[in-house]
């Protein structure tokens, strides 16, 4: 039987550079990053990994230009709206680490709702680190 780690953690980096290399905006780079997240989640399911942590954005994010911050805050809202039914069907539990209460209302509600709707799922835990710091 193939041996796989129980827990894999991934730190997102290079979305902005990816956008530049592909002649699109930094925000479009973040959109592509979120699409890559989807592929990673499916790969984790295939490999029977039990916990996947995705370090999405740290507290350093707030220093970025407002338009980019606004885009990043809206992205989880759209992402979970589009994906939640699929995550439930795939028996994925979503949990969130970081200062969730420090997120804007719509983002906070979207992630709390995603956690609530998937809380009884057991096949794979996806832990999104949002607004996290070193402490």
Which of the residues are catalytic? 13, 30, 124
Look at residues 134, 130, 59 and name the one whose alpha carbon lies nearest to residue 94: 130
Q: Is 93 helix (H, G, I), strand (E, B) or coil?
A: strand
- C-alpha–C-alpha distance, residues 65 and 82, integer Å: 26
Is 44 in contact with 124 (CB distance < 8 Å)? yes
Look at residues 109, 113, 105 and name the one whose alpha carbon lies nearest to residue 85: 113
Interaction between residue 76 and ligand FPP (CB under 6 A): yes
Binding mask 47-66 for ligand FPP (x = CB under 6 A): ---------xx---x-----
Is 51 in contact with 124 (CB distance < 8 Å)? yes
Binding mask 106-135 for ligand FPP (x = CB under 6 A): ----------------------x-------
Interaction between residue 98 and ligand FPP (CB under 6 A): no
Cβ at position 100, least distance to ligand FPP in Å: 11
Q: Which is nearer to ligand FPP, 3 or 39 (CB)?
A: 39
**Residue written as tokens 């759209």?**
78
Interaction between residue 41 and ligand FPP (CB under 6 A): no
Sites of contact with ligand FPP (CB under 6 A): 12-17, 30, 33-34, 56-57, 61, 72, 75-76, 79, 128
């Amino acid at each position: 039987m193939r041996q796989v780690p129980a827990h894999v953690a991934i730190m997102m980096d290079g979305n902005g550079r990816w956008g530049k290399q592909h002649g699109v905006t930094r925000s479009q780079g973040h959109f592509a990053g979120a699409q890559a997240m989807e592929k990673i989640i499916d790969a984790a399911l295939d490999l029977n990994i039990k916990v996947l942590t995705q370090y999405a954005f740290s507290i350093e994010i707030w220093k970025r230009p407002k338009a980019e911050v606004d885009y990043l805050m809206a992205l989880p809202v759209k992402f979970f709206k589009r994906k939640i039914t699929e995550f439930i069907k795939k028996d994925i539990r979503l949990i969130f680490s970081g200062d969730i209460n420090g997120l804007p209302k719509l983002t906070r509600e979207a992630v709390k709702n995603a956690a609530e709707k998937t809380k009884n799922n057991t096949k794979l835990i996806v832990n999104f680190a949002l607004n996290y710091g070193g402490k």
